Amino acid sequence: MIEFDHVSLRYADGTQALHDVALRVPRGQFCVLLGPSGAGKSTLLRTVNGLAKPTQGSVRIDGIVMSPATAAKLRRRVATVHQHFNLSPRMSVAGNVLSGLLPAVSTTRALLGWFEPRHRAKACALLERVGLEPVHLRRRAGELSGGQQQRVGIARAFMLDPEVVLADEPVASLDPRIAHDILSLIRDAARERGATVICSLHQLELARHFADRIVGMRAGKVVFDGAPDALDNAHVQALYEAAPASGHDGSPQLGAVPALAA
């Protein structure tokens, strides 16, 4: 269970990315975050793995508060699937997947790249699970197509048997059919392990299809929270309609997320 306990986050430049977000995501739920760019979805996800620190409130994972002291331990239980895959493009697919369990291996093994047989076997099993072929193992990650790279990213995310999977617009740069496959993969792999998924999306259709629950965000606030069926057109319009507060004239806005080093 992930609990956002009245989380607010204000960046150093004064922009308020999150505003009093209170949510409870129970174990095993597939929770989709919807909302326009700059609504705070990415920031909310980053508070869960500790890459962003709330200025007020706290995030708890299974009752443990995310803090610098607990980050190292908690991060192992939280996997992240990134919008831009964030693989090392020149490293082999196998190396990228194995890097997913770096926190769990000894320094010597990590530096030599000499992983235990059971870890290598696990990497192979996961790569097969996400639909890649044995020939891909030695290929450089950067040589694969976008969809295949995201499959590698998912395999890497599941290397440490996570309890929470964060997916930050995992299909934003993929075509609709592949996007569907990738989301199925994340959902099914998470379900097999009983892992919780929090996934930000821009595609309404996909959100309705995959979500157990949809959280709509706007300007750092939760403005909708409910089952996919409950999200009607009025809600969608309210979520995305252009408002003076989030115009595109380049002036600093309430809730605008500054360009994160992505």
Q: Least distance (Å) from another protein to the CB of residue 228?
A: 28
Residue number with CB closer to another protein (36 or 162): 162
Q: Please, which residue, 24 or 90, has the CB nearer to another protein? A: 90
In the complex, minimum distance from the CB of residue 188 to another protein, in angstroms, rounded to a whole number: 21
Q: Which is nearer to another protein, 94 or 222 (CB)?
A: 94
> Could you tell me the smallest distance in angstroms from the CB atom of residue 93 to another protein?
12
> Least distance (Å) from another protein to the CB of residue 131?
20
Closer CB to another protein, 38 or 50, in the complex = 50
Q: How many residues does the chain have?
A: 262
DSSP assignment of the chain, as one string?
Answer: -EEEEEEEEE-TTS-EEEEEEEEEE-TT-EEEEE--TTSSHHHHHHHHTTSS--SEEEEEETTEEP-HHHHHHHHTTEEEE-TT----TTSBHHHHHHGGGGGGS-HHHHHHT---HHHHHHHHHHHHHTT--GGGTTSBGGGS-HHHHHHHHHHHHTTT--SEEEEESTTTTS-HHHHHHHHHHHHHHHHHHT-EEEEE-S-HHHHHHH-SEEEEEETTEEEEEE-GGG--HHHHHHHHS--GGG-SSSS--TTPPP----
- Of 180, 240, 186, 225, give the one whose Cα is nearest residue 206: 180
Query: At its nearest, how many Å lie between another protein and the CB of residue 114?
Result: 13
Q: How far is the CB of 113 from another protein (least distance, A)?
A: 9
Instruction: Give me the least distance between CB of 147 and another protein, in Å please.
Output: 17
How many other β-carbons are positioned within 10 Å of the β-carbon of residue 71? 15
Task: Give me the residues that bind another protein (CB under 8 A), please.
Answer: 49, 51, 71-76, 78-80, 82, 84-91, 95, 99-100, 102-103, 107, 110-111, 153, 156, 160, 261-262
CB-nearer residue toward another protein: 152 or 219 = 152
CB-nearer residue toward another protein: 74 or 256 = 74
* Choice between 71 and 254, CB closer to another protein: 71
